[in-house]
């Protein structure tokens, strides 16, 4: 008889443990759902305001004017970008390795072809001094980008804002 009472007691504990676990999961799910709802409420008004502004602009006919302004800004930014000829040279070590890059210069004002040619030669000279170990991996590529960006800004005396990589191949 004592064995039957112990078995019933263990089954009761297992059932109550299962009920407690289910209750905890439900409470935590409710808290997570409530937290998501609050965060969504914080973000959603910003989206709604932007959508309302777009609808109002469309209704008043301002969308055409804004599209023209965006197109003019896009064309203006393309006018300031001057692609350089591809640069192909061997690296300093190992000298059997070759690098080929295509870059564009982002000028602050009107592009200057003579300055772009000087920068092209400067980049070529710099790439001949770089070893493969220096530009290996993503960090090496980032260092190369930063070095070239700094050299271009110094050479152009601030007239070039940025250098944009179009292709980068090492063989």
pLDDT in tens, 46-100: 554 555 666 666 666 555 555 555 555 555 557 889 999 999 999 999 989 999 9
Contact 104, 162 (CB under 8 A): no
Query: Distance between CA atoms of 110 and 161, rounded to whole angstroms?
Result: 12
Superfamily of segment(s) 81-170: Band 7 domain (3.30.479.30)
Q: Are 68 and 130 in contact (CB under 8 A)?
A: no
Q: What is the C-alpha to C-alpha distance for residues 122 and 133, in angstroms, rounded to an integer?
A: 21
Indicate the helix (H) or strand (E) that contains 98.
Answer: strand 98-107
Q: What is the pLDDT of residues 87-141, one digit of tens each?
A: 999 999 998 999 999 999 999 989 999 999 999 999 999 999 999 999 999 999 9
In the chain, domain spans: 2-73, 81-170
**Residue owning tokens 């914080």:** 42
């Amino acid at each position: 008889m004592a064995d039957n009472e112990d078995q019933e007691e263990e089954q009761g504990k297992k059932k109550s443990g299962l009920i407690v676990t289910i209750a905890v999961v439900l409470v935590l799910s409710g808290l997570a759902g409530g937290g998501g709802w609050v965060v969504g409420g914080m973000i959603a008004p910003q989206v709604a305001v932007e959508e309302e502004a777009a609808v109002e602009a469309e209704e008043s006919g301002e969308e055409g004017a804004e599209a023209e302004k965006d197109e003019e800004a896009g064309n203006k930014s393309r006018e300031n970008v001057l692609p350089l000829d591809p640069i192909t040279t061997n690296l300093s070590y190992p000298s059997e390795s070759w690098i080929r890059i295509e870059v564009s210069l982002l000028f602050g004002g009107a592009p200057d072809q003579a300055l772009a040619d000087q920068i092209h030669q400067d980049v070529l000279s710099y790439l001949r001094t770089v070893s493969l170990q220096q530009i290996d991996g993503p960090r090496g590529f980032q260092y190369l980008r930063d070095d070239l960006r700094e050299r271009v800004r110094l050479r152009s005396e601030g007239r070039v804002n940025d250098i944009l990589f179009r292709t980068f191949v090492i063989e």
